[in-house]
Structure 1
Amino acid sequence: MPIIGAFIVPHPPVILPEVGRGEEQKIRKTADAYREAARRIARLKPETIVVTSPHSVMYADYIHISPGEKAGGDMRQFRAPQVAVTAIYDTGFVAELSALAQEAGIPAGTLGERNPGLDHGTLLPLLFINEQYGDYRLVRTGLSGLPPEDHYRFGMCIARAAEKSGKRVVLIASGDLSHKVSAEGPYGYAEEGVQFDREITEAMASGDFLRFLTFTPEFAEKAAECGLRSCIILAGALDGKDVDAELLSYEGTFGVGYGVASFIPKGENPERRFLDAYLSHEAARLRQLRDGEDAYVRLARQSVEHFITTGQRATLPDGLPEELLARRAGVFVSLKKRGSLRGCIGTIAPVTGSVAEEILRNAVSSCSEDPRFDKVRPEELPELVYSVDVLSSPEPIESPDALDVKRYGVIVSTGRKRGLLLPNLEGVDTVAQQIAIASQKAGIRPGEPVGLERFEVVRHT
């Protein structure tokens, strides 16, 4: 039968008196909403509860489903070993879900178990549920670095597994929201954190699951979110269903957003098939980016597409602006896919006769020679977004005081080791970070004296 209910819950250990030791009173509203969610689950009488947790086994390219007959866990890492849970797994459901994911081409299954113990992202929901109800079996899944649409499709597989099992199934999407909603919190403050929590809780309250899909990776990273992919799996599990949606509570205590929401399906609605809408949205966004490309970015894209589709390097096309042909400079070409880096290779100083030739050369290197990534596949080409950084000539500097992470890139060197980091990168906020990352890239040990050079770039996107 179809999934009979789905819930979004946070997992702050401090919510437990044994862990909070009085601090739990500061999020009593969240605890009260959690208990209400547990009461609703008890009334639904599920035979199987599926929990998606950011703290279960996580891989970049694989969604892990916990194997085995049962698992246990406790809160000893939060100084409360007496708080423990043991759960029996629904092995039949796990097998069906793994098979359905494989049929759908989603990399998911029971391989790669690293820690069979229940994580706190799973323990917290079960502790609250077990106060009200215990006649169920558990399915636990992790999240992954796969794109949003794969998590949504995985949620659809959960729904199909529920229908094929004939069981009453409830889905729990475990995950905190932003970790940067207050300067007093351990992770600091980011404006994006407050905005993320406002928008995602509005989406929870209205059942607007498309909004879960359209947060950009860059924005979600700046917000330091935890459970967005859990929410996306939930959305996929309720694909094509009308829902009674209710935001039961939200608090931003301790600098972290905690949201509790309830979704009860109430019938079919083909207009709520959000994956198609998301893919159309993404296609339109990429078309708009492509329409706005300048000559630098267009040349990088043409170089990559020609190389990946033919195996041959492209030659310079006619009609390029003179500035691309008359000047020599170092160039970095970066590729992104769905907001995540897919390749970046460049030259500090020019090795060809012009900026145009430098772009052709480094674009091919970025798509095929970056050691951090596999070679770009032909089916990825429509999803790639390009940027081209043209470097000024590096100049030696005497001190880190002459650097500015937004304006200048840095080159560090000692002996034959040399490392470079571009300016104005997301997540690089201080000169110390900039030098440390450039040093790490060069294989230079922390604290080892280095020579410094700086350079500026003109970025084309």
Structure 2
Amino acid sequence: MSNIVFYGVAPHPPILLSEVGGADSRKVDRTFQAMQKFARQITESGAEAVIIISPHGFVFSDGVAINGSDILAGDLKKFRAALSFEYSNDLALVNEIVQQAGKKGIVTLAIDDVMASNYGITTTLDHGVLVPMYFLDRVGIKLPVVSISMSMLPVEELYAFGTAIKDACNRIGKKAALIASGDLSHRLSLEAPEGYSEKGAVFDRTIVDLLAKKDFRGILNIDTGLVEAAAECGWRSIIMMLGAADGEDTDTEVLSYEGPFGVGYMVAVLKPLGGNADSLLESLFDERAKKIEAQRAGESELVTLARNSLERYVMEGKKIKPDMGNSLLLEEKAGVFVSLKKHGRLRGCIGTIEPVTDSIGFEIVNNAIAAGTGDPRFDPVEPDELSDLVYSVDILKPAETIENMSQLDVKRYGVIVRSGRKSGLLLPNLESVDTVEEQVAIAKQKAGIGPGEPVQLQRFEVVRYY
């Protein structure tokens, strides 16, 4: 039986508090009432510590950060409210979570004030922690707090980190309440902080329905394109919380959901029932490996060449010579981009706008190696990463000059922007790039061209191979 005695999802809009929102806070009264009930349930749970996961702390892409200060403190002054908070940190639990996460191969840091200063960050508690804690304070909960920052790790690792929280609580015998702090879509209306998208409401309905039905696997498997389109800040916190409940029978209740300001606020609880349930942890990693295996079984000859090129170079430091015997295309000349992804996220992308070698085959070999070892945005690929990588190869057609952005189409055309000696390129049909304006802005940013600088535009088409 787990020592985590309460699981909950809490929104964190400062406007929820009358000290911040004034009369506007009445528009989220359902959420306020639900959070009061939420806090009372923690009081009744017998928790000896509160663990809260916030998406607004020091968020890392390759690991998890935990606040390691002796005293956890923060305020809501930037929201024009005279509200201050201070809690003791349960450092024994912090250190045990770090240890248990390390056993699962997840880099986890306890960041104290000295380390925070070195990183240029602060250990001051953010509103993702403070707004939920406001309601705990109101019902008189005076417990040590552990503040964990949400991470951009892949879903499987986030879930595994949750199991490390559970293992840590069990190991030191500490009963804890675990809160996943996060709002849902920020794109529910035209007035929403991130603008409107019809996918915002779709995402929110999906999360609410899946949680109500205890379909935790469904939450883990939500399409990442939908997640991006929703502009949410709670999905990953929820996944980390669900990992802590892995293998435990729970009952779920959505206490409230509303979105009057264009942002979705859900209050929900998972009640431990004391029994066992099927664990998802091992199957998540097995399924991920099988997906990669299936994709490689059906990959094109060009992608196989890219993969073999990088694997040989990383493992042996040698550059292979492409075999031109099976594909006439490999003997042609064209610009080529090779892209690498790891668990759905870009891991490297390097290419040539025009050919710089005698054939597409050699372009692929050179650019695959460069994507894995020379993309300045990423560290070089390590040998133990090779089995997790998936590849795509884009063969570029000749670029043509255009007069303005009306002649672009983000799905069909890539774009090249030029200003003097500076130039930048963005491929077509990229996830999360939905408009021509975004496409051009990103290309200009890559080139170091200022937002207001005039540019010459070219467009090009590609043939993409997987």
Residue 52 (structure 1) aligns with: 53
Q: Deviations over 1:112-143 (max 9, x none)?
A: 43212211110111111111132311111101
Given the superposition, is the C-alpha separation of residues 99 and 138 from structure 1 closer, same or farther in structure 2, using an over 3 Å criterion? same
Equivalent residue for 1:294, pick from 289, 293, 300:
300
Equivalent residue for 1:174, pick from 181, 195, 200:
181
Q: Deviations over 1:424-446 (max 9, x none)?
A: 22333333333332222222333
Superposition deviation, residue 51 in structure 1: 0.5
Given the superposition, is the C-alpha separation of residues 191 and 86 from structure 1 closer, same or farther in structure 2, using an over 3 Å criterion? same
Superposition deviation, residue 89 in structure 1: 1.4
- After TM superposition, the structure 1 = structure 2 runs for residues 29-428 of structure 1, keeping only pairs within 5 Å, are 29-80=30-81, 82-111=82-111, 112-113=115-116, 114-269=121-276, 271=278, 273-317=279-323, 319-325=325-331, 327-428=332-433
Greater CA deviation, 449-458 or 235-244?
Answer: 449-458
Greater CA deviation, 23-32 or 42-51?
Answer: 23-32
Contact (CA 8 Å) 2:324, 2:361: kept in 1 or not?
Answer: no
Q: Deviations over 1:224-246 (max 9, x none)?
A: 12111211111121121111211
Q: SS state of the match for residue 21, structure 1?
A: helix
Distance 2:264 2:46 in 1: 29
Q: SS state of the match for residue 110, structure 1?
A: strand
Q: Deviations over 1:183-218 (max 9, x none)?
A: 342212223322222222222112222223223443
Residue 455 (structure 2) aligns with: 450
Superposition deviation, residue 267 in structure 1: 2.7
Contact (CA 8 Å) 1:73, 1:118: kept in 2 or not?
Answer: yes
Give me the TM-score of the superposition, normalised by structure 1.
0.94
Distance 1:107 1:329 in 2: 41
Given the superposition, is the C-alpha separation of residues 184 and 440 from structure 1 closer, same or farther in structure 2, using an over 3 Å criterion? closer
The residue type equivalent to 2:251 in the other structure is: D
Residue 21 (structure 2) aligns with: 20
Distance 2:102 2:59 in 1: 18
Superposition deviation, residue 174 in structure 1: 0.5
Distance 1:359 1:371 in 2: 19
Distance 2:370 2:222 in 1: 30
Q: Which runs of 5+ in 1 are unaligned?
A: none
Q: SS state of the match for residue 100, structure 2?
A: helix
Superposition deviation, residue 53 in structure 1: 0.5
RMSD: 1.9
Distance 1:99 1:277 in 2: 23
Contact (CA 8 Å) 2:248, 2:272: kept in 1 or not?
Answer: yes
Distance 2:199 2:341 in 1: 21
Superposition deviation, residue 346 in structure 1: 0.3
Distance 2:5 2:320 in 1: 55
Greater CA deviation, 98-107 or 357-366?
Answer: 98-107
Superposition deviation, residue 283 in structure 1: 2.3
Contact (CA 8 Å) 1:217, 1:340: kept in 2 or not?
Answer: no
Q: Deviations over 1:141-191 (max 9, x none)?
A: 101222222222221121122112222211011011121233342212223
The residue type equivalent to 1:57 in the other structure is: F
Percent of residue pairs bearing the same amino acid type: 46
Superposition deviation, residue 94 in structure 1: 1.6
Distance 1:17 1:423 in 2: 47
Q: SS state of the match for residue 440, structure 2?
A: helix
Q: Deviations over 1:246-297 (max 9, x none)?
A: 12122232221111111122234251x1121222222232233223322222
Greater CA deviation, 82-91 or 238-247?
Answer: 82-91
Q: SS state of the match for residue 404, structure 1?
A: coil
Give me the TM-score of the superposition, normalised by structure 2.
0.93
Q: Deviations over 1:304-334 (max 9, x none)?
A: 2222232212222364222332x21101111
Superposition deviation, residue 447 in structure 1: 2.5
The residue type equivalent to 1:224 in the other structure is: A
Contact (CA 8 Å) 1:213, 1:278: kept in 2 or not?
Answer: no
Q: SS state of the match for residue 444, structure 2?
A: helix
Distance 1:364 1:205 in 2: 47
The residue type equivalent to 1:127 in the other structure is: Y
Given the superposition, is the C-alpha separation of residues 216 and 378 from structure 1 closer, same or farther in structure 2, using an over 3 Å criterion? farther
The residue type equivalent to 2:75 in the other structure is: D
Distance 1:129 1:17 in 2: 16
Greater CA deviation, 58-67 or 401-410?
Answer: 401-410
Distance 1:324 1:192 in 2: 41
Distance 2:63 2:300 in 1: 36
Contact (CA 8 Å) 1:338, 1:383: kept in 2 or not?
Answer: yes
Residue 446 (structure 2) aligns with: 441
Superposition deviation, residue 72 in structure 1: 2.0
Q: Deviations over 1:55-93 (max 9, x none)?
A: 11222223111112212222111121x122221211221
Distance 2:260 2:303 in 1: 44
Contact (CA 8 Å) 1:331, 1:346: kept in 2 or not?
Answer: yes
Distance 1:185 1:398 in 2: 34
Q: SS state of the match for residue 65, structure 1?
A: strand
Residue 429 (structure 1) aligns with: 434
The residue type equivalent to 1:159 in the other structure is: K
The residue type equivalent to 2:25 in the other structure is: E
Q: Which runs of 5+ in 2 are unaligned?
A: none
